[in-house]
Amino acid sequence: MKLKKIDATGKPYRIFAEHLESQAIDQFVGAMQLDSVLKGALMPDAHSGYTLPIGAVVAVQGMVYPSFVGYDIGCGMCAMKTTFRPADIRTHAPAIFKRIYEQLPVGFAHRKTPSEWGDFKRLDHTPHLKKLMVNGGLKQLGTLGSGNHFVEVGEDESGAVWIVIHSGSRNIGHSVATHYLKAASPDGRPREGFFGLLTDSAAGEDYIRDMAYCLAFALENRRQIMHVVADAIASQVEGKLIVSSLINRTHNHAEKTGGLWIHRKGATHAEDGMPGVIPGNMRDGSFIVRGKGNPESLSSSSHGAGRVMGRKEAKRKIDLASFAADMRVRGITAKVDRHTLDEAPGAYKDIHEVMAMQADLVDVLHHIRPIINIKG
């Protein structure tokens, strides 16, 4: 797909998606027309987002854009192999499912007491972020977000059981994003728009520090969720995590590479040889991949399947009974009700088609098919 308005700028870009709504195109064109944006790409799962499309990657000179990273700073995926046996997981799936929900706060719930985190004070951060952490930040660690965030226990083609987690920086990341969206905005209000911060300004440097902290916080959150889930499974069956197999990859961040700030908004870092995790939906599971470092995608890949329906539209159009039957026939133990209807497979693009569209971006190593799915 070629776009005349971007072609007129002479800037390199590549669109890997085949079908895009007009709003996503307009958002991408607007970003590419900024003087500070030098190169861009849209992943196969791209769709409209907050200022920048979900599934967009842009290379920026001398600026960071909080809206290009978004509210859930550091949101991403973790996957870890285990020694649990799939037959045991299936036999005890209802009990494991129940145990996970008992032990893991989900949605807007937090822990009653603060979690332990050794890097809480050691990592560099601003007084604003310190205040957020002191006022309940540690109670958010080891908790699962709502919406498309999930925990999945599944089996790959070799019979290995994996735990896959999609979650981010919780309210800490949202509060940090809001603070810097205000700082970047011309009227001091958090708003959509191409408002950035100079990287050598006080506000820009503070955002970079606090963003890095949120990335570490999000990783620690996923690690703690991983251990909660593993303990819940181990309370029912024999087995444990293979810690050396941890794969962690964020898809909402900005990082400096070759003098430019690469902003990824719902896009997975995929350098040559880099392991990654790309989720599909509640029914079709997740993929363990290896990046190819494609320069046309700015060494990135999709972060999932990408939505084809908004949440309200999905709840109007998707039939709950069909959703339930679809999950039941595949033997997946999951929360299937009106609250998760907007996460039904039909609300998303076909993940197999999305994976086919990014054959030049990643190699598929494993396809993990879900046995248990946990939603916030």
Query: Active-site residue numbers?
Result: 303
Question: Does 158 carry a binding-site annotation?
Answer: no
Question: Does 252 carry a binding-site annotation?
Answer: yes
In this structure, are residues 80 and 242 in contact, taking their beta carbons and an 8 Å threshold? yes
- Separation of alpha carbons 28 and 4, rounded Å: 12
Cβ burial, residue 221 (10 Å; 0-12/13-18/19+): buried
Quick one: which of 162, 160, 156, 172 has its CA closest to 77?
162
Quick one: which of 223, 273, 231 has its CA closest to 248?
223
Question: Does 150 carry a binding-site annotation?
Answer: yes
- Separation of alpha carbons 318 and 337, rounded Å: 11
- Separation of alpha carbons 31 and 349, rounded Å: 24
Quick one: which of 150, 151, 162, 157 has its CA closest to 89?
162
Question: Does 251 carry a binding-site annotation?
Answer: yes
- 188-199 in b/e form (b: 16+ CB < 10 A) is eebeeebbbbeb
Element (H, E) at 229: helix 202-234
Question: Distances from the Cα of 118 to the Cαs of 126, 138, 217, 226, 268, in angstroms?
Answer: 18, 11, 11, 17, 27
Tokens, residue 24: 């996503």
Question: Does 137 carry a binding-site annotation?
Answer: no
Question: Does 291 carry a binding-site annotation?
Answer: no
In this structure, are residues 157 and 365 in contact, taking their beta carbons and an 8 Å threshold? no
Residue with tokens 């709504």: 21
Question: Does 279 carry a binding-site annotation?
Answer: yes
Quick one: which of 108, 191, 152, 107 has its CA closest to 282?
152
Question: Does 282 carry a binding-site annotation?
Answer: yes
Question: Does 235 carry a binding-site annotation?
Answer: no
Question: Does 119 carry a binding-site annotation?
Answer: no
- Is the Cα dihedral 31, 248, 222, 165 positive or negative? positive
Question: Distances from the Cα of 168 to the Cαs of 72, 218, 236, 278, in angstroms?
Answer: 6, 5, 28, 15
Question: Does 286 carry a binding-site annotation?
Answer: yes
In this structure, are residues 117 and 133 in contact, taking their beta carbons and an 8 Å threshold? no
Question: Does 304 carry a binding-site annotation?
Answer: yes
Binding site for GMP: what residues are annotated? Answer: 148-152, 251-252, 279-282, 286, 303-306, 375
Binding site for Mn(2+): what residues are annotated? Answer: 72, 149, 166, 251
Binding site: what residues are annotated? Answer: 72, 148-152, 166, 251-252, 279-282, 286, 303-306, 375
